[in-house]
Amino acid sequence: MNRVTFTLTSSLVLLASMNLAPQAVQAQENLELLLTQNSPTLMAQRIETPYTLGAGDRVGVTVFNVPEYSGEYQVLVDGTLNLPIVGVVPVRDLNIAQATELISRLYSPFLRRPLVTVSLLSPRPIRIAIAGEVNRPGSYRVGEGESGSFPTITNAVEMAGGITRSAGVRQVQLRRSVQGRQQVYNINLWDLLQNGNSGEDVTLRDGDSIFIPQTAQIDPIETRTLSEASFAGEEGPIQVSVIGEVNRPGVHTLQQGSVERAAGEGLTGQGSKRVTGAIASAGGITPSADVRNVELRRTTRDGTQQTLTVNLWELLQSGNARQDVILQEGDIIAVPVASEINPSEVGDIASATFSPETIKVNVVGEVDQPGATVVPPNTPLNQVLLAAGSFDNRRANKQVVDLVRLNSDGTVTKREIELDFTRGINEEGNPALRNNDVIVVRRSGVTRVADTLGTIFSPITGLLSVFRLFGF
């Protein structure tokens, strides 16, 4: 005990000796508050107030050497026990020690020095309220059918569907009525998870209310730890929205998935409840996506929105799993347009799980195999032409092709591309293609002239054929 504590304690003794009982009581409470501010153990002991009896409790009353007065009794709806000889005994809001003392006094006129023992055999279900960052806030009846057990804060959170990903578990508030006054206690469930401090998992009392605030900002590492806690949310499917530079923007349903392709440590399979899983479910990113500045937008229970920037390029390069954030119901993932694409990064991005496995490009015109061609994402134009069987050597213009593209805003652009098969990926001469692009291979000049002449002279050719048929 330090000097401050010793001085305060000495002052209390002096106040009590001066018959200043109310002041001494208040000073004692202030001292206890001072001592518990920096001591989790003492705080937990202060919260654990004695259990008080109420309607529905089942108790055992044992009167030593008088078995006919002993037995099991239930506290009635009016808060009383009906005992032999003494009759109705009001025990509502009494703790076990107080109930024992009361029953002993009532039996004193009938027994010499009665030895009475009261024990709680089965606590009643209690009504508690829980609000804030839980999946199903509201009022709950806790502990029903669990003989001899006392529900705790984590039991209540589990009953309320678990915490959300925005929960601030370091500052959980427990509100409790103690001797007619409401007390507010701060509970640190993070200490329970990290250090196994079971004292933070306080047992509840009838009428308690729990409030779980939102965290100041989204912390990917803490979110991962909380998702594995016993009081985490349920493992059912969730719906999230994916917008921006993805192939199928909209609302998508996600479930817990497994690893499918490992382009970097921590990547999860399509459909998993993470950022990469959501993007994969949306058909993967487009070639113009900015994977360094993906936004996760999350709405908390009070309607405010939290935003976290996710760098998926860092996830690919260093396996930084904190970038692949675990999602919750209602999250929005926005993939922006990149201001510039680095050709050296295209291959790494194309092999990631959040890129589409294949895209479809239509090649029409003077090629050996016109039609839809399925290729890996970000395949350059030159390679698609080769995949389509290359040019029709007799008819194709091998110098220039047209690239027709449907843009995300609904517009259509047409570009003339000068071919050079010695080029690498280049936006001007050999661009990486997108899903549903169309390549038009033109006719050569000679072919156009021949086709035009053929069209002009085809009626005359047909007439000459008729004359030959009739022998002219």
- The larger pLDDT score, comparing residue 458 to residue 339, is at 339
Give the residue from 391, 384, 397 showing the smallest Cα distance to 434.
384
Contacts of 221 (CB under 8 A, 6+ apart): 322
pLDDT confidence tier of residue 157, bands split at 50, 70 and 90: very high
Length of the chain: 472
Q: How far apart are CA 161 and CA 170, in angstroms?
A: 19
Q: Which residues contact 349 (CB under 8 A, 6 or more apart)?
A: 285, 291, 313, 316, 355, 378
Average pLDDT score over residue span 464-470:
50
User: Is residue 101 very low, low, confident or very high in pLDDT (cuts 50, 70, 90)?
Assistant: very high
Distances (CA, A) of 183 to 172, 176, 211, 397: 14, 5, 13, 85
Write the CB contacts of 78 (distance below 8 Å, at least 6 apart in sequence). 55, 92
Flag whether pLDDT at 249 surpasses 70.
yes
pLDDT greater at residue 36 or residue 317? 317
Locate 144 and state its tokens: 């029903």
Identify the pLDDT of residue 160: 92
Instruction: Give the DSSP H or E segment for 72.
Output: strand 71-74
Q: What's residue 216's pLDDT?
A: 85
pLDDT at position 237 over 90:
no
Nearest to 382 by CA among 401, 360, 404, 355: 401
Q: What is the average pLDDT across 445-465?
A: 53
* 338 compared with 138, residue with greater pLDDT: 138
Do 125 and 140 meet the contact criterion of CB atoms below 8 Å apart?
no
| The token pair that represents 172 in the structure block | 């959980």
* CB atoms closer than 10 angstroms to residue 194: 10
Euclidean distance between CA atoms 329 and 254, whole angstroms: 9
Q: Which two tokens stand for residue 345?
A: 């990064």
| Residue 269 pLDDT > 80 | no
Q: Which of 104-118, 304-318, 426-440 has the lowest mean pLDDT?
A: 426-440
> What 3-state DSSP class applies to 354?
coil
CA distance 60 to 74: 9
User: Residues 392-419: what's their mean pLDDT?
Assistant: 79
Q: Which residues are 131's β-sheet partners?
A: 211
Strand ranges inside 94-162, DSSP E: 116-122, 126-132, 138-142
Q: What is the DSSP string of 402-460?
A: EEEEE-TTS-EEEEEEE--TT--SBTTTBPBP-TT-EEEEEEPHHHHHHHHHHHHHHHH
Query: What mean pLDDT value characterizes the chain?
Result: 78
Model confidence band, residue 408 (pLDDT cutoffs 50, 70, 90): low
Parallel, antiparallel, or unpaired: how do β-strands 87-90 and 80-83 relate?
A: antiparallel
User: pLDDT category, 24, cuts 50, 70, 90?
Assistant: very low
Average pLDDT over residues 437-465: 61
- Of 255 and 139, the structure prediction assigns the larger pLDDT to 139
Mean pLDDT of all residues in 431-444: 82
> Which pLDDT belongs to residue 442?
78
Q: Which neighbouring-strand residues pair with 401?
A: 417, 441
Give the whole-angstrom CA distance, residue 418 versus residue 457.
33
Element containing residue 375 per DSSP (H, E): strand 371-375
The C-alpha R_g of the chain, in whole angstroms, comes to 38
Local structure of residue 329 (DSSP, 8 states): T
| pLDDT-based confidence at residue 453 (cuts at 50, 70, 90) | low
Triad 257, 263, 269: Cα angle to 5°: 10
pLDDT for 233 equals: 74
195 pLDDT higher than 70: yes
The residue that leads in pLDDT, 445 or 171, is 171
What confidence tens digit (pLDDT) does each residue in 4-17 have? 333 333 443 333 44
Q: Which residues contact residue 223 at a Cβ distance below 8 angstroms, ignoring those fewer than 6 apart?
A: 165, 325, 326
233: left (phi over 0), alpha (psi -120 to 50) or beta: beta
Strand 209-212 relative to strand 126-132, pairing: parallel
- pLDDT, tens digit (0-9, with 9 covering 90-100), for 270-309: 458 889 999 988 988 887 889 999 999 998 888 888 899 9
Sheet holding 438-443, edge to edge: 371-375, 359-365, 438-443, 396-406, 412-418
pLDDT at 457: 47
Distance CA(117)–CA(100), nearest Å, equals 6
- pLDDT tens digits, one per residue of 117-130: 999 988 888 899 99
pLDDT at 462: 52
Percentage with pLDDT > 70 across the chain: 77
Confidence category of residue 267, pLDDT binned at 50, 70, 90:
very low
pLDDT of residue 3: 37
pLDDT digit string, tens, across residues 418-431: 888 777 777 788 88
Residue 456 confidence (pLDDT) above 80: no
CA nearest neighbour of 375 among 433, 321, 445: 433
Q: Is the pLDDT of residue 451 over 60?
A: no
Residues whose CB falls within 8 Å of the CB of residue 180, separated by 6 or more in sequence, listed in order: none
- pLDDT per position as a tens digit, 349-364: 777 778 777 888 898 8
Which of 5-9, 85-89, 343-347, 405-409 ranks highest by mean pLDDT? 85-89
Q: What is the pLDDT of residue 427?
A: 76
Phi and psi angles of residue 361, each rounded to the nearest 5 degrees, phi first: -120, 130
Q: What is the DSSP letter of 358?
A: -
Q: pLDDT value at position 145? A: 47
Count the alpha carbons within 13 Å of 104 in the hemisphere toward its beta carbon. Answer: 13
Torsion angle (degrees, nearest 10) of CA 310, 315, 321, 326 = 40
> CA 293, 298, 303, 304 torsion: positive or negative?
negative
Q: Per mean pLDDT, which range of 230-234, 299-303, 340-344 is the poorest?
A: 340-344
Query: Does the model's pTM come out above 0.75?
Result: no
